């Protein structure tokens, strides 16, 4: 019975790692579609999103089956509950990449972003993909020290997000309200993607140590 349980938990962890990898790839492609007004790439992200959704459902089913059939306690219960929560975080990461791709498709053949903010989003995209890869690594290694570093790496994303608002509030902004709304929403998508990657790290720390790190403050509504 114990051997079967361990095998199922390993399979669940592997599935979560695959999900995180897919979310990171989706954000990488979505960013390229955004910066290059590449409709084909945007459609690719949108078409492939079902893979993340299907894995999310499969992971939840696997976790709930373990809860129902194995009656876990203590550390085992913590692992399963953490797994269910991680599924939700990675699912949101995939959904946020999808939002970016849909924005690129909606404005095609025009570019969504004014040229002066392209650099911001190129860097935000790079950071998001790096954080997604780090979340995948943490899920595979269960290294709490590496997991804790995700929060530090997220600070660069927060700084970029704040700087975007200085551009939007500048009197020299000449791109109108629609462009300002697009930039605001897209910036938030990237920030939240990174936040969910950090949350994966927090949950891995809890899974391994039994102690949940303090939650970062966030007053935004997009999750």
Give the CATH number, domain containing residue 101: 1.20.58.220
Domain assignment of residue 186, yes or no: yes
Domain assignment of residue 196, yes or no: yes
Residue percentage of the chain with pLDDT more than 70: 93
Question: What Å distances lie between residue 56 and 46, 52, 193, CA to CA?
Answer: 16, 6, 16
Domain assignment of residue 220, yes or no: no
Residue range(s) defining the domain that contains residue 71? 2-209
The pLDDT score that the predictor gives to residue 213 is 83
Domain assignment of residue 223, yes or no: no
Residues 147-154, mean pLDDT to the nearest whole number: 95
Domain assignment of residue 219, yes or no: no
Domain assignment of residue 214, yes or no: no
Residues 92 and 53: their CA atoms lie apart, in Å, by 10
At residue 110, the 3 state secondary structure works out as coil
At residue 130, the 3 state secondary structure works out as helix
Domain assignment of residue 217, yes or no: no
> For the whole model, what pTM was predicted?
0.91
Residue with tokens 């700084």: 159
- b/e map 160-191, b = 16+ CB within 10 Å: bbeebeebbeeeeeeeeeebeebbeebbbbbb
Q: How many domains does the chain have?
A: 1
């Amino acid at each position: 019975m114990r051997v079967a349980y361990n095998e199922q938990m390993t399979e669940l962890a592997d599935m979560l790692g695959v999900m995180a990898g897919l979310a990171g790839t989706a954000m990488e492609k979505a960013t390229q579609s955004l910066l290059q007004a590449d409709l084909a790439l945007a459609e690719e992200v949108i078409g492939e999103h079902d893979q993340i959704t299907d894995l999310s459902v499969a992971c939840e089913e696997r976790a709930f089956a373990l809860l129902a059939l194995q009656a876990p306690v203590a550390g085992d219960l913590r692992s399963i509950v953490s797994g269910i929560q991680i599924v939700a975080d990675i699912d949101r990461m995939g959904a946020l990449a999808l939002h970016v791709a849909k924005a690129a498709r909606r404005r095609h053949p025009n570019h969504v972003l004014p040229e002066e903010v392209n650099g911001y989003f190129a860097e935000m995209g790079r950071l998001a993909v790096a954080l997604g890869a780090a979340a995948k690594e943490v899920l595979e290694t269960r290294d709490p020290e590496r997991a804790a570093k995700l929060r530090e790496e997220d600070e660069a994303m927060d700084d970029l997000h704040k700087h975007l608002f200085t551009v939007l509030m500048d009197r020299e902004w000449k791109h109108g309200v629609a462009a300002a709304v697009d930039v605001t929403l897209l910036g938030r998508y990237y920030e939240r993607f990174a936040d969910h990657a950090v949350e994966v790290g927090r949950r891995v720390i809890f899974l391994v140590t039994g102690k949940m790190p303090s939650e970062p403050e966030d007053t935004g509504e997009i999750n």
